[in-house]
Amino acid sequence: MTFARRDRSIDPDTLPRMPSWVTSARAETLEDVAFLSGAALSHLHLVLGREEVPQALLRDRLALRAAEACVAFSGRPERVGELRDAVHLLRPGDLPGPAGETCVAWRRAVERPLSIKALGRALAGLEPGQIATWLDAGQGVPVCRAAMVLEAVLREAPCADVAGLILADAALAQALGWEHLVPLLAAGLKRADLRKHGDDLRLACHRALISSAVEAARQAADLARRAAHLKAVAPKLRAKGAGDAVGMFLTRDAVAPSSLPLPDRAARRLCDRLVDLGAVRELTGRDTFRLYGV
């Protein structure tokens, strides 16, 4: 795998910035909040269309954020660090546990282009027909569709927060014409919002999407800069398989050295080299069982 030199036409510093009035405006009515969420989503749509944004990496990181929110909704204590461990440090035959399963579901939901089959892979306990039925419950403009799907799922399965939020984000992505699901709602909603209905739920979803779209755009800009730096230092890496390793860092939130396509010692050396070059970070703060990410 080779990487082109940084070009001004795909300079991450040229990514459009979220208008300040989207975050500073005070809105109370459903109409005003809907206007702001539409503006935030429209801006995010532009950002997601930019070549310099590492799309798969952004979705994987947003999936982790959504999983953390869902785990918190369920009252469990696991946060980002524990969720990364639950997914990336599994041994063959091990089960990820409830929190890890939530993280796996979100990661699978964003890996492949949107389809009933892809959603069924993420939500293994649901039949394809049920997934299609719930998605069809959404009507109207994008955020209303998402809120209606979430309400439909939780009305029939009150404990299915993860399924409801994944399918709501899927409905939103479909309505916006996005090829992949982008996790947005879970991180912006509060636990109490999941028990709301009708206009109250739509208002909560609009508010959630304002904050989540702003954060997603911020992360996209940050990851674009980090990805550009990683691509710039890639030619300095001499290890066989380094190009494929860089490709993994550009698509995954976290990478264990043991998962890289290099011998163990070479993989650890490559990770240390990338840290020294400022291209990746060690994410755990541990001396062993380390994980690395852009």
Give the per-residue pLDDT at 239.
84
Structural domain ending residue among the three candidates 168, 197, 223: 223
In a domain, 10, yes or no: no
What is the DSSP secondary-structure string of 21-56? HHHH----SHHHHHHHHHHHHHHHHHHHT-TTS-HH
Give the per-residue pLDDT at 245.
97
Give the per-residue pLDDT at 95.
87
In the chain, the number of structural domains is 2
User: Does 275 lie in the same domain as 201?
Assistant: no
Q: Is the dihedral of CA 216, 221, 223, 224 positive or negative?
A: positive
User: Does 276 lie in the same domain as 196?
Assistant: no
What angle do helix axes 55-73 and 97-111 make, rounded to 10 degrees? 150
Q: Is the dihedral of CA 37, 176, 195, 216 positive or negative?
A: negative
Low-confidence ranges of the chain (pLDDT < 50): 1-9
CATH, residue 242:
1.10.10
Report the C-alpha gap between 16 and 214 in whole angstroms. 12
Q: 265 is in which domain, residue-wise?
A: 237-293
User: Does 76 lie in the same domain as 162?
Assistant: yes
In a domain, 262, yes or no: yes
What digits encode the pLDDT tens for the residues 13-35?
A: 778 889 999 988 888 899 999 99
User: Does 216 lie in the same domain as 126?
Assistant: yes
What would you report as the CA-atom Rg of the chain, rounded to the nearest whole angstrom?
20
Q: What are the Cα distances from residue 131, in Å, to 114, 121, 125, 184? A: 12, 11, 10, 19
Report the C-alpha gap between 128 and 196 in whole angstroms. 26
Report the C-alpha gap between 243 and 239 in whole angstroms. 9
User: Does 40 lie in the same domain as 147?
Assistant: yes
In a domain, 174, yes or no: yes
In a domain, 241, yes or no: yes
What digits encode the pLDDT tens for the residues 222-262?
A: 999 999 999 999 999 988 899 999 999 999 999 999 999 99
Q: What's the predicted TM-score (pTM) here?
A: 0.93
Report the C-alpha gap between 134 and 127 in whole angstroms. 11
User: Does 276 lie in the same domain as 248?
Assistant: yes
User: Does 193 lie in the same domain as 115?
Assistant: yes
User: Does 212 lie in the same domain as 155?
Assistant: yes
Residue bearing tokens 């040229």: 14
In a domain, 74, yes or no: yes
